[in-house]
Amino acid sequence: MLIRRPPDIPSSEITPESRYLNRRAFIKTAAGAAAVLGLRLAADTVMSLTDVDAVYQDWGTPRQRPLRTLTLEQAEALLAEGGLGAGSMRPKVEAAVGFVSGGGWRAVIAHLGDGAAALRGETGTTIRRELA
């Protein structure tokens, strides 16, 4: 959300405040929809692209660390213990867990510009049943 409106950005491209404040609900819905669609299409991989390079445990604390690979069981434990807080990454991990537990092979969460590298396992977070 822009605090000030620069003159070179048309008002049609500025997110209305009400929509911005409902961002978490949108993220949860979008991530869940992608997981369900992936399962319905029998996809082996679903990817969620975001503005962060990976899922982080203890985000925003001195103990934060990126989680590059997680088994389904590790991701479920992370959700249960509250290591993700209530931020926008939690719905992505919940959707990834739903996809993998529903029969998908892997779910990848990565930065928007790193999709191809994340599919190769070079960046991002990959959640799958078993680590190879």
Instruction: Provide, rounded to the nearest whole percent, the portion of the chain with pLDDT above 70.
Output: 74
Predicted local distance difference test score (pLDDT) of residue 21 = 63
Which residues have C-beta within 8 Å of that of residue 27, sequence separation ≥ 6?
88, 91, 92
Predicted local distance difference test score (pLDDT) of residue 69 = 95
Q: Convert the pLDDT of each residue in 12-48 to its tens digit.
A: 666 666 766 666 666 667 777 888 888 888 999 999 9
Q: Per-residue pLDDT averaged across 93-120, rounded? A: 95
pLDDT category of residue 102 using cuts at 50, 70 and 90? very high
Q: Per-residue pLDDT averaged across 88-112, rounded? A: 92
Distances (CA, A) of 62 to 51, 56, 81, 101, 123: 20, 12, 18, 32, 21
Q: Convert the pLDDT of each residue in 55-64 to its tens digit.
A: 998 888 898 8
Q: Convert the pLDDT of each residue in 71-85 to its tens digit.
A: 999 999 999 988 776
Instruction: Provide, rounded to the nearest whole percent, the portion of the chain with pLDDT above 90.
Output: 47
pLDDT category of residue 70 using cuts at 50, 70 and 90? very high
Which residues have C-beta within 8 Å of that of residue 44, sequence separation ≥ 6?
104, 105, 106
> How far is residue 24's CA from residue 77's CA, in Å, rounded to a whole number?
22
